[in-house]
């Protein structure tokens, strides 16, 4: 899913596509021709429209834009044709009703923000809800779940990450011994390569067998 990884070329492409998505059908054939050329001449396959980048329908993207706009009506423009560079800070996003009660809301927003600090552009915003929707495939969700639970962003879920996860889940009501016990148990269960921490392969191996993963790692907007 190249578009979710969002290279800068892709970013520009997505923004231009989004603006063109609202325009009349007469421009579409020309755009498709341009896209066909890009498809043929570029090594990296390009999505042909933002609608191909996410799992949302056109109507849903427009509705998401409405939600994004209403969080900061003074800052977010309604018209995206001029390719604005607008990002909303984390504080606004984590106050959304869908995220408000989630103990991992900060981590979620950080994982999808391009600058890593939690400000989301509209593309990041759409990416986030797209991955968390029920239409996203299991593998994609696993990638982002790993990112979310990796608190220190070192591409491993180490013991300190596990402790932080557990504290967020139980609102720090467990004693230190209980926390240590649970974290050791988790590493014992899931660590396959014996390095004392969970790499992405370990995590994915464990999560692919989890029966509840798809239904709980799901936000509806």
Q: Tell me which residues touch another protein (CB under 8 A).
A: 29, 32-33, 35-37, 39-40, 48, 51-52, 57-59, 97-98, 100-104, 132, 145, 149, 162, 165-166, 169-171, 173-174, 178, 182, 185-186, 189-190, 206-220
Q: CB burial class (10 A; 0-12, 13-18, 19+) of residue 1?
A: middle
* Cα-Cα end-to-end distance for the chain: 22
Q: How many residues does the chain have?
A: 221
Q: Specify the residue, 30 or 82, whose C-beta has the smaller distance to another protein.
A: 30
Contact 95, 182 (CB under 8 A): no
Q: What's the rounded Cα separation, in Å, for the pair 196 and 175? A: 22
Shortest Cβ 58–another protein spacing (Å): 7
Q: Specify the residue, 8 or 175, whose C-beta has the smaller distance to another protein.
A: 175
Shortest Cβ 13–another protein spacing (Å): 16
Q: Beta partners for 157? A: 198
Q: Specify the residue, 52 or 139, whose C-beta has the smaller distance to another protein.
A: 52
Shortest Cβ 128–another protein spacing (Å): 12
Q: Beta partners for 121? A: 87
């Amino acid at each position: 899913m190249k578009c979710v990884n969002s290279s800068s070329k892709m970013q520009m492409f997505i923004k231009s596509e989004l603006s063109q998505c609202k325009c009349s059908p007469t421009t579409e054939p020309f755009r498709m021709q341009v896209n066909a050329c890009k498809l043929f001449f570029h090594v990296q396959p390009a999505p042909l429209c933002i609608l191909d980048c996410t799992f949302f329908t056109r109507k849903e993207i427009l509705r998401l834009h409405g939600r994004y706009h209403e969080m900061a009506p003074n800052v977010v423009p309604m018209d995206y044709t001029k390719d604005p560079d607008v990002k909303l800070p984390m504080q606004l996003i984590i106050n959304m009703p869908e995220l408000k009660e989630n103990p991992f809301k900060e981590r979620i927003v950080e994982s999808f923000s391009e600058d890593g600090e939690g400000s989301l552009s509209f593309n990041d915003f759409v990416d986030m809800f797209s991955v968390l929707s029920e239409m996203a495939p299991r593998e994609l969700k696993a990638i982002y779940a790993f990112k979310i639970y990796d608190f220190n962003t070192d591409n491993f879920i180490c013991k300190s990450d596990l402790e932080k996860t557990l504290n967020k889940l139980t609102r720090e009501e467990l004693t230190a011994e209980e926390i240590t016990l649970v974290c050791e148990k988790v590493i014992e269960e899931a660590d396959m390569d014996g390095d004392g921490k969970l790499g992405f392969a370990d995590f994915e191996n464990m999560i692919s067998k989890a029966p509840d993963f798809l239904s709980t790692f799901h936000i509806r907007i």
